[in-house]
Structure 1
Amino acid sequence: MKIGLYFGSFNPIHTGHLIIANYIAYNTDLDKVWLVVSPQNPLKPSSSLLNEHHRFHLAELAVQGEPRLRASNIEFSLPRPSYTIDTLTYLAEKFPTQEFTVIMGSDSFQNIRRWKNYEQLIKHYPIYVYKRPGHEVTETFGANVQVLEAPMLDISSTHIRQWIQQGKSIRYLVPDNVVAYIAENNYYK
């Protein structure tokens, strides 16, 4: 089975994330896409992060009923901060019969040489890169790269958090069950 790993803070998960994950799940050779909720991104400040278990639960709600998508909390049990190469090494040991592919935006891919042991990552794992405006893929750094034209929505988790704090509606930006759960639990207030 071929599994695509779409890493993110998902703080909170939104329709833009889901469109990309679903597009990749149904328009590539992957059987499933796991949305891997990162407890802490080494390249981002963690102060604005909602508790990882809450973010994971929101991701689970968001993919409910979609057979090819799955929320994953695999990084919660690994050392912090979590580095993609360490997670991949762990997954390869835990699921030796699965093939893993990394999914990332072209903006992240441009920074791949800043990642821990990136040489090992690009040598052993295919990377599916979805294009983001203003970030063309001009260099592959020797990686096995497939560039995808996934539909893009200009939505950011940062704006969603700001809108919640301002008392604005976030309907249509995140799935309805996620909107309801965020409101019930006063997240991001």
Structure 2
Amino acid sequence: MKIGLYFGSFNPIHIGHLIIANQLVENSDLDQIWFVVTPHNPFKKKSTLLDNHQRLEMVYLATKDYDKLKESNIEFNLPQPNYTINTLTYLQEKYPIHDFALIMGEDNLKSFHKWKNYEVILENHNIYVYPRISEGIVETQFTNHEKIHRVKAPIMEISSTMIRNAIKNGKNVKPLLPKKVWEYVDEMNFYK
């Protein structure tokens, strides 16, 4: 089985994430997409980050009605700070019959050459790249790489930061979140 790994803090997961994942799984050779909830991104302030299990619960609620989309807590028990190469190595050992690929936005592709062991990642894994707002086609050393696949997907201007700020300011974000995620966020008074 070919599995696309969609990494993120998903704080919260929103319809933009689901639209991109669904577009990829339905219009590529990927059989499933796993939303890998990252415990803590060193570039993000931890204070705004909900607990790992609360974010995992939101991803579960958002994906449970989709056969090809799954939540994953695979990074919760890996040593921190963690690197993508470590997660890929761990997954390949745990699930040797699966073929794991990365999913990333075009903006991440620009800095991919700075990732730890990026050459090893490219040697062993395909990367599916979706467009990001105002980026257009980004010319990089990876532009014509055989392992990098550009996938047409709607460009999303929705961000988790925008949603958190809107909730804090008393705005209605219900249309931006999957119904069960919105209900959970509202019930738990998250981001207020």
TM range (shorter): over 0.9
Q: Which amino acid aligns with 2:29?
A: D
Q: Is the 8 A contact 1:42 1:82 kept in 2?
A: no
Q: Could you tell me the TM-score, scaled by structure 2's length?
A: 0.94
1:11-30 correspondence runs (5 A) = 11-30=11-30
Looking at structure 1, the residues matched to 74 and 10 of structure 2 have their Cα atoms a distance apart, in angstroms, of 14
Q: Secondary structure at the match of 2:5?
A: strand
Equivalent residue pairs, number: 189
Conserved? CA contact 1:101–1:125, under 8 Å: yes
2:80 is the alignment partner of 1:80: yes
Deviations 1:10-43 (A, max 9, x none): 0100000000001111110011000111011233
Contact kept in structure 1, 2:8 and 2:37, CA below 8 Å: yes
Q: Cα offset for 1:144?
A: 1.1
CA distance in 1, matches of 2:43, 2:129: 19
1:139 is matched with 140
Q: Distance in 2 between matches of 1:140 and 1:15?
A: 31
Q: Deviation above 6 Å: which 4+ runs of structure 1?
A: none
**Structure 1 position 151, deviation (Å):** 1.2
Partner of 1:57 in structure 2? 57
Of 136-145 and 9-18, the range deviating more from structure 2: 136-145
1:89-146 per-residue CA deviation (whole Å, 9 max, x = no partner) reads 0000000010000000000111112211111111211100001123223224356100
Structure 1: runs of 5 or more not aligned:
none
**Contact 2:132–2:156 (8 Å) recurs in 1:** no
Query: For residue 153 of structure 2, what is the aligned residue in structure 1?
Result: 150
Structure 2 vs 1, CA of residues 51 and 102 (structure 1 numbering), >3 Å: closer, same or farther? same
User: Corresponding residue for 1:185?
Assistant: 188
Which stretch shifts more, 124-133 or 143-152?
143-152
Overall identity of the aligned pairs, in %: 50
Of 157, 163, 169, which aligns to 2:166? 163
CA RMSD of aligned residues (A): 1.2
Aligned to 2:39: 39
Moved more, 128-137 or 106-115: 128-137
Worse-matched range after superposition: 109-118 or 29-38: 109-118
What residue is the counterpart of 1:175 in the other structure? 178
- The letter of the residue matching 2:45 is P
